[in-house]
Structure 1
Amino acid sequence: MMTQSKPIFNSVLLLTGTMVLVKVLSAIYRVPYQNILGDEGLYAFQQVYPLVAIVSVVSLNAMPSVMSSWMNNRRQSEINAMFWFLQVSCLILSAVIFICSEWLSRMMGDTHLTPMIRMASLTLIPLVFIAMVRGYYQMQHQMNTIAISQVIDQILRVSVILFAIVIYVLMDVSVYKAGTIAISGSVIGLSSVAVYFYFKRRPKLQFSREIYMKDTKSIIMMTVLYAISYLILILWQVVDSFTLIHLLQETGYSFHESIRIKGVYDRGASLIQMGLIVTTTFSFVLIPLLTEQLQKKNDKLVNEYANTSLKITVLFSMAAAVGLMNLLPLLNTVFFKTNELIATLSIFMLAVVFVTFIIMYTALLQVKSRRAVLVMALTIGLIIKIVANEVLVAQFGIVGASISTILSLAVYTFVLHYYVMKLYKIQSMGLFIMKVITLLIVMSVFVQGVLFIPTHSRMTSLMLLVLAGIIGVSVVLIGIIKMKILIKDEWQHLPLMDKIIKE
């Protein structure tokens, strides 16, 4: 038994490492894109990118997880029928988005986005094939093949985006044409994954009508539930794509001023993504152990792991958010050339805390099969985001968009928190939270002290950013040990912490 489980465990580690690499690449490539194409270029890309991101999440993460369990012990005729039903549905949806692209771009407040939306609609075509083949490999625990497919997708996607930057520089095309080329990277990446899977597996896809609506509804619902954790920020960005340009113009900005301001605001998505890479890596380590103990009905360990998971989430999400807020002037200058909208982006950084909590709470509720709660909480959060955008952007301008994001995510988090408290025995964390706040105040004092050192170029700002980052991380690690914020049984589960902290 041990000889079988070790390769599976190693494959899961490989896939996890690959996913972290993919997240890092997806967070970083926006930096050269904005540096060359400017805030207007980043705006155009970010307006349409959330549509592509949804397809990527569904095809590469959510639907494969659903399919891996659904395909188990199913007849080939049933699998074929499901494939063709979902494939035809995606083709129809792709055609509808393509045809309605001009109307959608008008809804976004910028008809120049039409070609980019048309290009984005093509990503739906390979979605089902990728999801089902990947689901098969997941079912067989062949994570190496999945990891390779992710690397193929991301390398091609980023390569095409870099190519779009080169075309923009050499041929002096518009930011919209460059954006269309950049979005095509997702089409090429996903299509290449489909080709790779086809020649690797050569699946038999004979047409079949053995379809059951009960299965279809279940697959769609489960895909939505699996996708929630990945889609939180993306869905909030979709709301911003359809509302902010209109709202900013209503407050008195010209169209060109509106798209530039939206481009600066969109920098926040990259910075938050960087913060989430750290927080989710640490916060998720205990979920597999919690699930295992839940299956064994060991309530004592379930509650212990739930408590530890929440403490880790509080600690690292708050540390990441406060760290980003402290370093924001340098991050803004080093990565994006100009230091603008500090207040707006600082408020936006708090999203790291709430999104990390939402992801953690979603996992805790999923293992207890509380699906309706997850859908309800997401719906409430999105409705508040839409309404708050209308009210707050009109009142406060672009900073209102950040406030509406944090407000809606906070309510979303509170709804999930209410149900988690009912399902798990969570210990009082008053003293723990006070220790964390004290530590972050000390960390902020040290980092702000470093930031008093004057800089005269992006290179010296980068050097100061690295120094401030190292000092900030060191203060947090020393504080965890000296203030006993985490006890040994808690920190030993964290990646690398057992090497850093010795008894």
Structure 2
Amino acid sequence: MTQQYGMKKYMRGALLLTLAALVVKVLSAVYRVPFQNLVGDEGFYVYQQVYPFISFFVVWTSGGFAIAISKMLADTADINRKRSISKIIFSYLTVLSLVFFSLLFFGAQMLAYWMGDEKLAPLLQTGAFVALCMPTLALLKGTFQAKGAMEPVAYAQVFEQLIRVLVILGGTVLVMHTSKSIYAAGNVAVLGAVVGEIAGIMLLLFYIRKQLNGNCHVIKINIWAVIKDVTLFSLSVSLSSLMLLGFQLVDSFTVYTSLLEQGMPMEQAMVQKGIYDRGQPLVQLGVVIASSLSLAIVPLIAQKIKTAGRGAMPFVQLTYRTALLFGTAATFGLIITMPYVNELLFTTADLSAVLMVVVVQIIPFSLILTFTAILQGYGKLKIPALIVAAGFIVKWLSNIWLLPTIGIIGAALASNFGLFLSAIFLMLYIKRIVNVSLAPLVFYKTLAAASIAMVIAVKVSAFLFHVLLSAIDGRTQAAIMSGVLILIGASTFITIIAKSRILKEKEWFLIPFGRRMALYQLWLNKRK
């Protein structure tokens, strides 16, 4: 009975951690909309240029290192060995954080020069302080997770992000009403990340203060083995997220400078890069389903692999099908409504064609999130890392080739090339491991039919409503059109998927928030 209660408590904590991660991802995407509205496309360019540098440390700490630490501590029964591992990892992370801090703080001028905008240097220096939070935050989160105490970690993650968003938006409003400097607004936004990390540490320290125990001593263990394990596992856990940040880093170094080299005025180049960066929050929102799947279903896969071998296959197939299903729906939905969504969220419909290409990233990135998480469950780390690295190289080389040739849309295409290449090779690697079909042919046919039907329904509705709303223009029309078309498109897609039953009702119940879809599918197929 005690064991059952413990498992129930653990699952409740895991669910809470999943929900917290989803809230953080949604907040991370959503706050960019009011921020862009406050600072304009030039100000958005400023923030997005330095954002990948800062987020690299946050993602690696909150995601990768914390989970790696929790695994290593959970796999160790001896309390003295746990203390030794914690001490080694904390010392290692302290060295890493000081190295990263020095690179960003003292190398800020050089990095800003390479990005083509030396005014970005103070923002990089402010962001460097995020690295100093890394050792404490990672160790605290990892320690709680190792004990199965997920609640403090979940609360800290949400608290971090809330504080970050409040500082960013509150500080930006203040700056834009006083100095109106887009670089000062960007600096405040970067400061928000630092303050958020400190807030998370303070909350975790509040939770852990009564759990400190001085009755154990440190024992000697292999230092390099611990460092190797925590580094490899942390990188594998956060691989997919770090990949997307790596792509954004490539854009930070190449897009703006390429536009300047083509003779574009500085202000126009800033605006174009800022508009191009509008695609990032859209992509983040588009992959929320895949993120929730990798967080919720993949632990089941890992458990089945340990206990039942091939019993994991149905979960692998379900995760793949659902990620592809919703990734495709989000992509096509955003493409056909982009002009309206673009104007509604970001005040203008500029470069909507470019953003249509950007959001195609949702499909391969949803699959990459899923594949890397599944492979992690199988204990496969090296090959996925090499595949992701190859995708990164393709992105970099494609940017260098396409940007001077076809302009900023080349950067969007380069990201798609790199992501699709990685997704395809990861799929081939998984199929070699599991040696089963991930989905039958009827699944792909139904998915294609639902996508085509959604596009037709939205296009016809857009024509009709555009005529009806011709007297209204601007963001009001965009708001009405976006809401109506998204509702029509989603209803069409979901109805065809439910009617076809390509996912069974019992499978929907395994998916986060899939209960309503299961009930709708049952109702729809019982109708005469």
Cα distance change of structure 1 residues 78 and 416 upon mapping to structure 2, 3 Å threshold = closer
State yes or no: 1:228 paired with 2:248: no
Matched, 1:125 2:132: yes
The one-letter code matched in structure 1 to 2:486 is: G
**Residues 350-401 of structure 1, C-alpha deviation per residue, up to 9 Å, x if partnerless?**
1000001111111222122221111111110011100000001111000000
1:306 to 316, 319, 327: 316
2:476 counterpart of 1:459: yes
Cα 1:5/1:75, change in 2 over 3 Å:
closer
Counterpart code for 1:46: Q
> Are residues 13 and 396 of structure 1, via their aligned partners in 2, closer, same or farther at CA, if it must alter by over 3 Å?
same
Tell me the equivalent position of 2:159: 152
Q: Does 1:431 align with 2:461?
A: no
Q: 1:335 maps to which residue?
A: 345
Whether 1:63 and 2:65 are equivalent positions in the alignment is yes
2:196 corresponds to which of 189, 195, 199? 189
May I ask how many residue pairs the two structures share in their alignment?
A: 502
* Cα distance between partner residues in 2 of 1:363 and 1:352: 16
What is the CA–CA distance in structure 2 between the aligned matches of 1:123 and 1:316, rounded to whole Å?
Answer: 34
- Separation in 1, partners of 2:10, 2:307: 21
Q: Please tell me whether residue 140 in structure 1 is matched to residue 147 in structure 2.
A: yes
Output aligned runs, 1:86-101, within 5 Å.
Answer: 86-101=93-108
For 2:241 and 2:314, the matched residues in 1 are separated by: 26
Q: What letter is aligned with 1:338?
A: T
Q: Which of 274, 296, 300 is the equivalent residue of 1:289?
A: 300
Q: Distance in 2 between matches of 1:154 and 1:245?
A: 29
Q: Hey, what's the Cα distance between the residues in 2 that align with 1:379 and 1:142?
A: 34
**What amino acid sits opposite 1:23 in the alignment?**
K
CA distance in 1, matches of 2:70, 2:295: 21
Alpha-carbon shift at residue 212 of structure 1 (Å): 0.8
Contact 1:479–1:485 (8 Å) recurs in 2: no
Q: Do structure 1's residue 500 and structure 2's residue 520 form an aligned pair?
A: yes
CA distance in 1 between counterparts of 2:291 and 2:259 reads 33
RMSD between aligned residues: 2.0
2:388 to 371, 374, 378: 378
Shift of 1:402: 0.6
Say whether the 8 Å CA contact 2:446–2:497 is kept in structure 1: no
In structure 2, the CA distance between the partners of 1:432 and 1:85, relative to structure 1 (3 Å rule), is closer
Paired with 2:96 and 2:505, the residues of 1 have a C-alpha distance of 52
**TM superposition score normalised by structure 2:** 0.91
Q: Aligned equivalents of 1:35 and 1:207: distance in 2?
A: 55
Q: Distance in 2 between matches of 1:67 and 1:279?
A: 24
Work out which of the residue numbers 487, 491, 494 in structure 1 matches 2:508: 491
Q: Which moved more, 1:274-283 or 1:24-33?
A: 274-283
Task: Verify: 1:481 aligned to 2:498, yes or no.
Answer: yes
Partner residue of 1:264 out of 275, 283, 292: 275
Counterpart contact for 1:81–1:209, Cα < 8 Å: no
Alignment match of 1:42 (pick from 41, 44, 56):
44
Query: Aligned pair in 2 of structure 1 residues 284, 331: CA closer, same or farther (>3 Å)?
Result: same
- How many Å separate the matches in 1 of 2:375 and 2:131? 30
Distance in 1, Cα, partners of 2:104 & 2:429: 37
Secondary structure of 1:501's aligned partner:
helix
Does the CA-based 8 Å contact 2:243-2:392 persist in structure 1?
no
Contact in 1 for aligned 2:499/2:521 (Cα 8 Å): no
Deviation at 1:12, TM superposition (A): 1.5
1:251 equivalenced with 2:253 (yes/no): no
3-state SS in 2 of match to 1:350: helix
Q: What SS does the aligned partner of 1:400 have?
A: helix
Q: 1:142 to 1:75 in 2, by over 3 A?
A: closer
Structure 2 distance, partners of 1:96, 1:234, is: 18
Give the whole-Å Cα distance in 1 for the aligned partners of 2:295 and 2:334: 21
Which of 413, 416, 434 does residue 423 from structure 2 map onto?
A: 413
Deviations 1:127-168 (A, max 9, x none): 111101111100111111111111221111001111222123
The CA deviation at 1:442 is 0.6
Worse-superposed segment, 487-496 or 397-406: 487-496
Report the TM-score when normalising by structure 1.
0.95
Q: State the Cα distance separating 1:229 from its structure 2 match.
A: 2.5
Distance 2:88 2:436 in 1: 45
